[in-house]
Chains A and B, each alone.
Chain A
Amino acid sequence: AQRVTQPEKLLSVFKGAPVELKCNYSYSGSPELFWYVQYSRQRLQLLLRHISRESIKGFTADLNKGETSFHLKKPFAQEEDSAMYYCALSGASGSRLTFGEGTQLTVNP
C-alpha cells in the first residue's frame, strides 16, 4: 500500500523567512514523489517532481529514501506562496497518485 503523510495541516510564516513543508511516505518499491500546489480559487497544479531535480518558484524538494521523506523547502517565503500544498506519490510508471492531506501555507507580510 502507498501512503503519504503531511503532519502539518496549517503552517504560517513571515515573509522572508525560510519555510519547510514536511512530507513522509510509505511505499515498498521505488516511488515517484511530487508536490502539487493549489492557489486560492485555482486548480491543482504540479509544482515539482523529484525525478527532475528542479527548483520551481524558489522551491526545492529532496527525496530522502532513508527517512522516506520528501520535504518541500524555500529559503525566503513570499506572500504569493500562500496556498495549499499537497505531497503526492506514484508507484510504477503511470500508476495512480496518492495525495497527502495537504498543508495550508500562509505567508504573512
Chain B
Amino acid sequence: GAVVSQHPSWVICKSGTSVKIECRSLDFQATTMFWYRQFPKQSLMLMATSNEGSKATYEQGVEKDKFLINHASLTLSTLTVTSAHPEDSSFYICSARRARSPYEQYFGPGTRLTVT
C-alpha cells in the first residue's frame, strides 16, 4: 500500500507555455502533499507544502505565481509551471503523507520537465 503516482512521467514543452503535473495517492488519503525539485546529481529541494483544501505554503525563493499548486482532494495535488522557461527544466517529485503517519512520506516516481 501507500502508492503515489505522477503524471506525466516526462514532458517537453515550448518556452512560454504552461505545464500541469499531477500527483495522486492511489490507495490512501493524503492530508499533506509535498512538491520537490531535483537537479541532476543534486538533492531534493522542497518547493512547497500543500494541505488538502487550503493554500500551499511555499519555501523561500519559490515563486508562487509561477508554480501554482492545487490540492483540491485528499488524493490529488497538481503543480502547474506557468510560462515555463528553459531554467525550469528539472525533475519534479511529489510526496504524500497520510494523517496517521505524520513522519512518513511516500514518494512519486517524478516527472522530467524539459522546456525548449
Q: Which of B4, B43, B49 has the most CB of A within 10 A?
A: B43
Q: Using known A-B contacts A94-B32, A96-B49, determine if residue A86 contacts B43 with beta carbons closer than 8 Å.
A: yes
Contact of B93 with A by CB under 8 A: yes
Residues of B within 8 A of A102 (CB): 42-43
A43 within 8 A of B: yes
Question: Number of A-B pairs whose CB atoms are under 8 Å?
Answer: 42
Tell whether, in the assembled complex, residue A101 and residue B102 are in contact, meaning their CB atoms are under 8 Å apart: no
Contact residues in B for A46 (Cβ distance below 8 Å): 104-105
Chain A residues bordering chain B, tally (CB within 8 A): 20
CA distance A103 to B37 in the complex (A): 18
With an 8 A cutoff between CB atoms, is A32 at the interface?
Answer: yes
Size of interface on B: residues with Cβ below 8 Å to A: 19
Contact of A94 with B103 in the complex, beta carbons under 8 Å:
yes
| Minimum distance in angstroms from B73 CB to a CB of chain A | 20
Rounded to whole angstroms, the CA-CA distance of A100 and B46 in the bound complex is: 12
Residues 23-43 of B at the A interface (beta carbon under 8 Å): 32, 34, 42-43
Jot down 27 A-B pairs with beta carbons below 8 A, ordered by A: A32-B103, A34-B103, A43-B93, A43-B108, A43-B109, A43-B110, A44-B93, A45-B107, A46-B104, A46-B105, A51-B103, A86-B44, A90-B103, A93-B103, A94-B97, A94-B102, A94-B103, A96-B34, A96-B46, A96-B49, A97-B34, A98-B46, A99-B43, A99-B44, A100-B43, A101-B43, A102-B42
Query: What 6 pairs between A and B have smallest CB-CB spacing?
Result: A94-B102, A44-B107, A43-B109, A101-B43, A99-B43, A99-B44
Interface residues of B (CB under 8 A from A): 4, 32, 34, 42-44, 46, 49, 93, 95, 97, 102-105, 107-110
